[in-house]
Chains A and B, each alone.
Chain A
Amino acid sequence: MTDFSTDSATRPHESGRDSRVTQWLVSLPPTLFLLVFFLAPALIMLVASFQYPGEFGGLAPLFIDGQANLSLETYRFFFSDLIYAEIFLRSFLVAAATTLICLILAYPLALTIAHSPKRHRDLLVLLVILPFASNFLIRIYAWIILLGPANLLYTPFAVIAGMVYVHLPFMILPLYTNLEKHDPALLEAAQDLGAGAWTRFWRVTFPLSLPGIWSGTALVFIPVLGMFAIPELLGGTGDILIGNLIKEQFLDNRDWPLGSTLSLLLTLAVLLLAGFSAWAGRTRRRLA
């Protein structure tokens, strides 16, 4: 998006109007797609969270005898029991731990790929995404076989290990894309001006890779929050996360309104977190 706008800013003045129309036409289909398939379901969920559950699953009618058939029941339910807050908190902790471990594992790997000879890089990136070639569930079952004999199955360790394993490529790829673009002359300049290897990393490479870290963090943190298959297959009874909770409401308890409420609150929490980190990032840059 930003690339697009800077590009149009450098274009000759006369063609500015034409190019804006073109931009609109080109971006219309994806915009419509997102409107219909993201915004509409979100709105349906918002309404559903205030509805009553149907007798056999689904939702009760929105209007009965011309009267709106809505309530705050699900919200009262959520805030009345600490167990939900606890599951939310645990989910955020698992997501944070997964993200941190992914970052620590991915960084050296991404750096290695970015510093390897150009002709090897594509192959190494291919190896990173190769696991996607086999089905996700099959790979999780492989972990069951691996962890079972080690007596680690159905533990928090198994959940985190599975989460890290599945999401690692999403941290490696944005990091690699960022690190690969660094100008090697900057490291030479730092070294020339007296910086040792450790200082060069913390003063040059790391700060310049922050955008990559943020992308990777978003791509790992958010999916982990909603993940239910891994805790269900690898975790014990005490390891359920929001994802499991939501899934249960829709598939097992047939309580769509509560499921919608949980989904909405999760989305809201993520947006708040993202907004806060963006604000914090901006303030830090202004203070720097």
Chain B
Amino acid sequence: MAILEIRNVTRRFGNLKAVDDVSLSIEAGEFFTLLGPSGCGKTTLLRMIAGFDEPDQGALFLEGRPLAGIPPEKRPVHTVFQSYALFPHMSVAQNIAFPLRMAGKDEDEIRRRLKETLELVHLSDKAQHFPHELSGGQKQRVALARGLINKPRLLLLDEPLGALDAKLREQMEGELIALQREVGITFVFVTHSQQEALALSHRIAVMNEGRIEQVDRPEQIYGYPKNRFVADFIGTINLLPVEVCEATHGHLRLAVAGLGEIIAPALAGVKAGERGMFALRPEQVRVSARHEAQELHNHYHGKVRDYLYLGDVTVYKVELDNGVLLEALLANSAPGRAKFFEIGDTLGVGWRHDSGVYLRD
């Protein structure tokens, strides 16, 4: 059974529908992510789960019981805030023990659980420190420990990694995954970073303008985006306007303006004659020197217009002979070679017939 059931929830602010008829069901033990650009309604949804806001329509159910009218302090749901919101006048130990004190636990239990939790987040030696004496990563761990110590049914995390620098964020991502696995509490994570969402989640709900665009596992969201918004928001992608020439069970034949026909994977319900987009990830595009043999079905020639050297990979912007621009990603795995092609080089460009995805408009 779903631990949290969100049923047709709408929340309006004036004329704006911040959350628009959202239905979701989150499973127990899941690491679930609400992903979307700022203003997409993900934080409003989180605040309704925490109890700081109530839906105008629809309802939320925690373990089958309706949450309506229950104030935040009475919900077995804790939040890790974006700014951490650690109490500056309390030590690390007092901060972390706060939820236990609020719950009226006895001193013995508080001492025992505090010790366990401090060990869990590797802060045993910082128990007597105050928040202003901690680094960003340590504050983050105190906020996590404080949210987890009283074993809430749900832990809500509101962009908790936003304030950390890139290196630390990567390390905290690892710790978050390990922590969630260890405690087994259901995490609902809010972020605008597709990279965090892909790295951390069991499932992702992509939100836009108050609505849910797609809910699925990270690899499905990345590999098989349902629409143009999801395709565009998650990672980079080449989008080519196409018309469907033929749709069979095995494949689609698509006409690309100025490029001719290409073969793409089949998609249920697509009919010949409709128009849409063909979406292709840069890493699915293969580039090779002009005269190397191309046994791929979809292959063309083009010129390097620009490139972006990123260390592990180089991104080439290739202009095909007919003016279509494609991005291609090449791993720099050959030792000692920083890049393979120069601006102006002519090369072969192609992709497998089962690469890419057709998106209906």
Residues of A in contact with B (beta carbons under 8 Å apart): 183, 185-186, 188-196, 199, 203-204, 207-208
Contacts and interface: CB of A to CB of B under 8 A. Distances in A.
Given A183-B85, A188-B79, 10 more contacts: A185-B83, A188-B52, A190-B98, A192-B50, A193-B73, A193-B102, A194-B103, A196-B73, A204-B87, A208-B88
A194 B85 contact: no
B50 A186 contact: no
B50 to A, nearest CB: 6
B233 interface: no
Given A185-B81, A199-B102, A191 B72 contact: yes
A183 B71 contact: no
B79 A192 contact: yes
A185 B86 CA distance: 9
Most chain B CB within a 10 A radius of its CB, from A185, A189, A190, A204: A189
Contacts of A203: 87, 98
B102 A195 contact: yes
B89 A208 contact: yes
Nearest to B75: A192
A188 B81 contact: yes
B203 interface: no
B79 A189 contact: yes
B55 interface: no
B82 to A, nearest CB: 8
Nearest to A184: B85
A192 B74 CA distance: 8
Most chain B CB within a 10 A radius of its CB, from A189, A193, A199, A208: A193
Contact of B72 (A183, A192, A204, A207): A192
B253 interface: no
Contacts of B146: 193
B104 to A, nearest CB: 9
A228 to B, nearest CB: 39
Contacts of B74: 194
Contact of A193 (B52, B88, B98): B98
A194 B99 contact: yes
Contacts of A207: 89
A189 B158 CA distance: 12
Contact of B87 (A186, A192, A194, A196): A186
B89 to A, nearest CB: 5
A73 B151 CA distance: 73
Q: Is the interface on chain B under 10, 10 to 19, 20 to 34, or 35 or more residues?
A: 20 to 34
Interface of B: 50-52, 71-74, 77-79, 81, 83, 85-89, 98-99, 102-103, 146-147, 150
A189 B144 CA distance: 12
A207 B81 CA distance: 21
24 contacts: A185-B81, A185-B85, A188-B52, A188-B79, A188-B85, A189-B79, A189-B87, A191-B52, A191-B71, A191-B72, A192-B50, A192-B51, A192-B52, A192-B73, A192-B77, A193-B73, A193-B78, A193-B147, A194-B99, A194-B150, A195-B98, A199-B102, A204-B87, A208-B88
A193 B143 CA distance: 11
B139 to A, nearest CB: 13
A208 B85 CA distance: 13
Contacts of A208: 88-89
A189 B88 contact: no
Contacts of B86: 189
B13 to A, nearest CB: 16
A190 to B, nearest CB: 7
B102 A192 contact: no
Nearest to B47: A188
Given A199-B102, A208-B89, A192 B78 contact: yes
B85 A189 contact: yes
A193 B89 CA distance: 16
B66 to A, nearest CB: 19
B73 A195 contact: yes
A211 to B, nearest CB: 10
Contacts of B77: 192
B88 A191 contact: no
Nearest to A199: B102
Nearest to A206: B89
A49 B74 CA distance: 65
Q: Nearest 3 CB-CB pairs, A to B?
A: A194-B102, A189-B85, A185-B85
Contacts of A189: 79, 81, 85-87
B331 to A, nearest CB: 42
Contacts of B79: 188-189, 192
B83 A194 contact: no
A189 B98 CA distance: 10
Nearest to B156: A192
B155 to A, nearest CB: 11
Nearest to A200: B73
B171 to A, nearest CB: 24
Contacts of A193: 73, 78, 98-99, 102, 146-147, 150
Contacts of B147: 193
Nearest to A189: B85
A199 B52 CA distance: 17
Nearest to B52: A188
A196 B104 CA distance: 13
A186 B147 CA distance: 14
Contacts of A190: 87, 98
A194 B81 CA distance: 15
B235 to A, nearest CB: 32
A193 B146 CA distance: 8
A115 B204 CA distance: 37
